[in-house]
Amino acid sequence: MEEIEFTIGHLSRETGCKIPTIRYYENIGLMPKPPRSTGNTRVYEHSHLQRLDFIQHCRELGFNQNAIRELLDLTDRPDQSCAAVTEIAQTHLETVNQRISRLTALKSELKHMITACEGGRIEQCRIIERLADHSHTTSRTQAK
Amino acid sequence: MEEIEFTIGHLSRETGCKIPTIRYYENIGLMPKPPRSTGNTRVYEHSHLQRLDFIQHCRELGFNQNAIRELLDLTDRPDQSCAAVTEIAQTHLETVNQRISRLTALKSELKHMITACEGGRIEQCRIIERLADHSHTTSRTQAK
DNA sequence: TCTAGGGTCTCTAGTTACTAGAGATACAAG
DNA sequence: CTTGTATCTCTAGTAACTAGAGACCCTAGA
């Protein structure tokens, strides 16, 4: 049913990640150096696909390479201490929470605009005023 | 109580955005060219601070300059047609929803790790396996 | 067996989005 | 008038890709 080994082109098509980018991730150590075929081509398997997918999602979500490296390390090194894991995970959890609340505010504002527009009302858009303020970062999210 | 006009240094401290970056945003048109003082320094006011804050949040959330430009245009041009606004807002709303669901999955996984660690259990971390899979995205990912 | 096509390889250089530094100017305090 | 701080413009460097050149490998068809 499934191929258990595949080429870089296949990996690229599956993930939507461009081939040079995959090789770039390998160079900077985000992706492991995969085994090579007799013809020297990279040979990947399912775990590579999962890892690349994870990296891509993280990039889209605005995490930089260091952050991604830390997140990957959480899985790569089960031998590291629980204290270290907790601390790193806690830090990232806070970042993630902040991003969720900002995105939620942005979402409600976009929905508001769509609704207002569909209702045919010409309304001044207040997206910046509502979302840019520092006070929105932690808790407050005003919808509507 | 509040200064109504301030310098680029003040703006930088308020937002945490570096001075050269502010000037860079001005060059590429994300920030407007502010009026100048007699000594040729840039003079900002509250709306600039809000706009810069918004831009920064968007960058952190992984939006690129074009996306930010579109979001800003939603507020800058109240004269544009409702259809255009709806379409742009709708597109970004879908992106935002996708990001929220990914971040939510990441969040629950981080929380799980923290809890497991605090409980002292040595547990294999499955963050990638649980989050990287295609099935976690609501609709199919659009690679850019 | 030759060869055309496609996919891969490495390496280099370009793009986007900043970021840091050099050198000059403005201005308030001592 | 000098010292210090902040600003100015301009250029060059960094991070994270991305595209292109030229060579190698491998399968299929003549």
List of residues 6+ apart from A84 with CB closer than 8 A: none
Domain span at A37: 1-80
Give the model's pLDDT for residue B69: 87
Is the domain of B73 the same as that of B3?
yes
Q: What would the two tokens of residue B64 be?
A: 């690129």
Q: How many residues does chain A have?
A: 144
Contact of A52 with A31, CB cutoff 8 Å? yes
List of residues 6+ apart from B134 with CB closer than 8 A: A53, B140, B141
> What is the mean pLDDT of the segment spanning A73-94?
74
Is the pLDDT at A105 greater than 90? The verdict is: no
Contact of B109 with B127, CB cutoff 8 Å? yes
Residue B96 to residue B75: CA distance in whole angstroms: 18
Is the domain of B93 the same as that of B136?
yes
Is the pLDDT at B35 greater than 90? The verdict is: yes
Last residue of a domain, one of B64, B79, B94: B79
ipTM over 0.85: no
> What is the mean pLDDT of the segment spanning A105-112?
83
Domain-embedded: residue A69: yes
pLDDT band at B36 (very low <50, low <70, confident <90, very high): very high
CATH number (domain holding residue B67) = 1.10.1660.10
Q: Which of B110, B112, B115 is the best residue to mutate to test the A interface, defined by the most A CB atoms within 10 Å of its own CB?
A: B110
Is the pLDDT at B3 greater than 70? The verdict is: no
Is the domain of B74 the same as that of B87?
no
Give the model's pLDDT for residue A80: 63
Domain-embedded: residue A28: yes
Is the domain of B67 the same as that of B88?
no
Is the pLDDT at A22 greater than 50? The verdict is: yes
In which residue are the tokens 């939620």 written?
Answer: A104
Domain-embedded: residue A122: no
Q: Which nucleotide is nearest to A24 (CA to C1')?
A: D17
Q: Do A113 and B89 touch (CB under 8 A)?
A: yes
Q: Is the CB of A9 under 7 A from strand D?
A: no
What is the nearest CA distance from A129 to chain B, expressed in angstroms?
A: 6
B contacts of A133 (beta carbons < 8 Å): 50, 53
Domain count for chain A, please give it. Answer: 1
Q: What would the two tokens of residue B80 be?
A: 């544009």
Beta bridge partners of B6: B44
Q: Do B86 and A114 touch (CB under 8 A)?
A: yes
Residue A44 to residue B130: CA distance in whole angstroms: 20
Q: Is the CB of A12 under 7 A from strand D?
A: no
pLDDT band at B25 (very low <50, low <70, confident <90, very high): very high
Is the pLDDT at B21 greater than 90? The verdict is: yes
Is the domain of B36 the same as that of B97?
no
Query: Environment class of residue B112 by beta-carbon count within 10 Å: exposed (0-12), middle (13-18) or buried (19+)?
Result: middle
> Residue type at B92?
H
Give the model's pLDDT for residue A41: 92
Give the model's pLDDT for residue A138: 30
Last residue of a domain, one of B30, B50, B79: B79
Window from A79-88, B53-62, B130-139 with minimum mean pLDDT: B130-139
Tell me which residues from 101 to 120 on chain B have a beta carbon below 7 angstroms from nucleic acid strand D. none
Indicate the average pLDDT of chain B: 78
